[in-house]
Amino acid sequence: MIRLYDTLTGDVRPLAQRDEGKVSLYACGPTVYDHPHLGHARQAMTYDVMRRYFEWRGLAVHHVANVTDIDDKIIARAQAENTTESAVATEWKQVYDDVMDALDILRPHDRPHATEYVEEMVEFIQTLIDNGSAYANDSGVYLRVHTVDGYGDLVHRSLDDLREGAGARVEVDDTKEDPLDFALWKAAKPGEPTWPSPWGDGRPGWHIECVAMSLGILGDGFDLHGGGNDLVFPHHTNERAEAIAAGRDFAQHWAHNAMLNISGEKMSKSLGNFTTIQTLLDEHPDNARALRLALLQTHYRKVMELNPDVMAQSREGLKRLDAMVRKASGADVPLDGAERDATAIAAFTAAMDDDLGTPEGVATMFETIRRANAALDAGDDAAAMLVATAIDLAGAMGLSVEPDGLGSGGDGGDPEIDALVSARTEARASKDFAEADRIRDELTARGIVVEDTPNGPVWHRG
């Protein structure tokens, strides 16, 4: 049984499925107006791993993530660049997609755009006005927060606590009945894109889109709603409030991933180049996988440290995975149809079922790799099973294997390199070690690593 921490109840509890064997997951997606940064990567990776693991467990996952293509930041950027909001959104959505593809993050099954759901949002707001939970005035439509039962439950704060926070802020908008009330619909302002509504032209507030889209696509009482823990308040709290006010059955379980620290500090301006995903990807060809491994080695609910050192350490770890596969390939171990090692599978499943314990899952994978290598060295029949199991576990977490240059001696895939490797083999055969080492140095200079195995040399890009 899969158990997951639920922000609402504050404990780890079984993830109930509305429909047996299926999981409906709504994870808040990006507002597209700028380069995605590493925080976006952690968020997207968290739910990608969740989804992959659920699927590996045999569950049919319906993964939905919105794309916010209209909001203040997009408007600001459009004005600054003297272009349209939709042009800004289209451009940055593409950038986002490219980066996520590079990180090997599976595309959610549905990716609704806010601007495609305005009609549904208007209807939803109308329902709230009709039942007295919302009111319209000159500046827009607002939700009457005090009418919502258990409004602050998700953040575990009382209405008074929250009100104190709101009151402490300057410039309270006095068109609202209560400082806590928030906008469902914002009245049109000059120069902003607008949509028609019964309360005049305007645009939707931030939270309403996720309610309309999650309920619209996944239906009432969907299983799991996720996002970064910076969204617990106000975003998720307000989404939930809207659904409750409308009498709808909302998410049954809430998951939130923790933030990232870069070099011991929160990710921000002073760290400059290390903040965007693209920059990280440009720094090393293997950084996409290394980032995934690094992320997996920290539990998703814990603040995580990321710095160049951590990335380098992860890249080294990845080599163990790849090297094992190369070794198995060199030994001609039959992986197709190999059984799985029950001990490893059981340990892995237990760890992952318990609130997505990826650090322990990774530990199990590495232990399996060590056992596989030992079996390979010993010529043990269990080798195939262990290698196949390790690859399987890696795959369950979205870690791909890239042995690179697979194959031995003459058929490594690159004629020039293969020729050099063959020449070295001949030199060694005739005991001309000086020549053999010379060739190896030349290969090293080209970034090629040669490993000698009982079955001949195997090379890869290092």
Partner RNA sequence: GCGCCGGUGCCCGAGCGGCCCAAGGGAACGGCCUGCAAAGCCGUACAGUCGCGGGUUCAAAUCCCGCCCGGCGCUCCA
Residue span binding RNA (CB under 7 A) among the ranges 40-48, 58-66, 86-94, 229-237: 229-237
Contact between 136 and RNA per CB under 7 A: no
Contact between 380 and RNA per CB under 7 A: no
Q: Which of residues 322-341 bind RNA (CB under 7 A)?
A: 323-324, 327
For tokens 């949509």, the residue is 195
Q: Report how far residue 77's alpha carbon sits from residue 84's, in angstroms, rounded to the nearest whole number.
A: 9
> How long is the chain?
462
The first and second tokens of residue 331, run together, are 């030994």
Contact between 233 and RNA per CB under 7 A: yes
Contact between 161 and RNA per CB under 7 A: yes
**How crowded is residue 447: how many other Cβ atoms within 10 Å of its Cβ?**
9
Strand partners, 110: 64
Give the shortest CB-437-to-RNA separation in angstroms. 5
**How crowded is residue 327: how many other Cβ atoms within 10 Å of its Cβ?**
21
C-alpha closest to that of 207 among 252, 169, 246, 158: 246
- Interface with RNA (CB under 7 A), residue from 37, 42, 62, 301: 301
Contact between 305 and RNA per CB under 7 A: yes
Contact between 297 and RNA per CB under 7 A: yes
- DSSP for 100-131 reads HHHTTPPPPSB--BGGGSHHHHHHHHHHHHHT
Q: Report how far residue 438's alpha carbon sits from residue 182's, in angstroms, rounded to the nearest whole number.
A: 72
Contact between 376 and RNA per CB under 7 A: yes
- Interface with RNA (CB under 7 A), residue from 206, 250, 254, 348: 206
Give the shortest CB-94-to-RNA separation in angstroms. 25
**How crowded is residue 88: how many other Cβ atoms within 10 Å of its Cβ?**
24
Binding mask 351-370 for RNA (x = CB under 7 A): ------x-xx-xx--xx-xx
Contact between 304 and RNA per CB under 7 A: yes
Contact between 451 and RNA per CB under 7 A: yes
Cis amide leading into 14 (omega within 30): no
- Interface with RNA (CB under 7 A), residue from 37, 144, 186, 240: 186
- Interface with RNA (CB under 7 A), residue from 6, 85, 181, 223: 181
Closer residue to RNA (CB): 56 or 233: 233
The first and second tokens of residue 274, run together, are 């290390």
Q: What is the side-by-side order of every strand in the sheet holding 254-257?
A: 60-65, 22-27, 224-228, 254-257
Contact between 249 and RNA per CB under 7 A: no
Residue span binding RNA (CB under 7 A) among the ranges 86-94, 246-254, 396-404, 450-458: 450-458
Closer residue to RNA (CB): 111 or 307: 307
Closer residue to RNA (CB): 29 or 228: 228
Contact between 345 and RNA per CB under 7 A: no
Contact between 298 and RNA per CB under 7 A: yes
Q: Report how far residue 376's alpha carbon sits from residue 383's, in angstroms, rounded to the nearest whole number.
A: 5
Closer residue to RNA (CB): 108 or 140: 140
Binding mask 9-48 for RNA (x = CB under 7 A): -x--------------------------------------
Contact between 303 and RNA per CB under 7 A: yes
The angle formed by the CA atoms of residues 204, 25 and 228, to the nearest 5 degrees, is 65
Contact between 317 and RNA per CB under 7 A: yes
**How crowded is residue 9: how many other Cβ atoms within 10 Å of its Cβ?**
11
- Interface with RNA (CB under 7 A), residue from 9, 14, 16, 72: 72
Q: Which of residues 424-443 bind RNA (CB under 7 A)?
A: 428, 433, 436-437, 440
- DSSP for 330-393 reads HTT---TTPPPPHHHHHHHHHHHHBT--HHHHHHHHHHHHHHHHHHHHHT-THHHHHHHHHHHH
Closer residue to RNA (CB): 109 or 370: 370
Q: Which of residues 251-270 bind RNA (CB under 7 A)?
A: 258-259, 261, 264-268
Angle between helix 342-353 and helix 382-396 axes, rounded to 10 deg: 20
Contact between 408 and RNA per CB under 7 A: no
Contact between 374 and RNA per CB under 7 A: yes
Give the shortest CB-426-to-RNA separation in angstroms. 11
C-alpha closest to that of 106 among 51, 173, 54, 150: 51
Residue span binding RNA (CB under 7 A) among the ranges 12-20, 52-60, 157-165, 277-285: 157-165
Distance (Å) of CA 184 to CA 91, 220, 392: 27, 20, 46
The first and second tokens of residue 6, run together, are 């639920």
Give the shortest CB-359-to-RNA separation in angstroms. 4
- Interface with RNA (CB under 7 A), residue from 22, 146, 189, 446: 189
Q: Report how far residue 89's alpha carbon sits from residue 111's, in angstroms, rounded to the nearest whole number.
A: 14
Contact between 169 and RNA per CB under 7 A: yes
